[in-house]
Amino acid sequence: MNGARRLPATPAFVSRAATGLALACWPLLGWAHAESGRADGLLAGLQHPVSGLDHVLAMVAVGLWGAQIGAPAIWLLPLTFPLVMAFGGMLGLMGVPLPGAEVGIALSALALGVAILAAWRPPLWAAALIVGFFAIFHGHAHGTELPAGANGLTYSLGFVAATGALHACGIGIGVVQRWSPGRMALRAAGAGVAVAGMAFLWRAIA
């Protein structure tokens, strides 16, 4: 360990690190307003996952939860979600109905937020099953909202790539759980996601 530098584990450092990582992810949100009206498949796909806060929070939460659980969940959960989401997207593109999709999306934010708040570490297969279950609803929503004239394949590649980027943001922010103040901040973030999930659920069932 000679020459290795230890990062300062101060609340101020943790706060600055989290803020910097969040700001690095901010350009993703700008895609929600970019290229409006264009039917380009790839650009439309990149734009769609960040066009709604419910999608953004759930996808970032997957990365946060994976980072909180630790290896191998830190990479397995962000891999499971896009793979299963692509399947859900295919169902949507094919016009296969999925009742309660909006409720499922809202519940994903609520459930993932609660899991982060509680620092829940279930068996790896159970965590992957939960993430995969909710991914179907997100994918179906993306698939059914294919813009007119957009190429389905490139559109799918776009929303899978954007989803991976949002997971990466969550993983990056989740690094703060290495420090005690960061673990508290991460659980607080989970509470925020859960509250937002309850608001999404109310809107979906109202």
Mean pLDDT of successive 10-residue segments in the chain (206 residues)? Answer: 42 45 44 41 71 88 94 92 90 89 94 96 96 94 73 78 88 86 91 95 89
163, 85 in Cβ contact below 8 A? yes
pLDDT at 144: 83
pLDDT at 93: 82
Report how far apart, in Å, the C-alpha atoms of 102 and of each of 55, 99, 130, 134, 136 are.
10, 9, 17, 11, 11
List the chain domain ranges: 50-205
Closest C-alpha among 202, 145, 142 to residue 166: 142
pLDDT at 148: 63
pLDDT at 143: 79
Q: How far is CA 59 from the centre of its chain?
A: 1
Helices (H) and strands (E) in the chain, counts: 8, 0
pLDDT at 155: 78
Helices 152-174 and 53-69: angle between axes, nearest 10 degrees: 50
> Which token pair is 160?
């899978």
pLDDT at 113: 96
Q: What is the pTM of this model?
A: 0.76
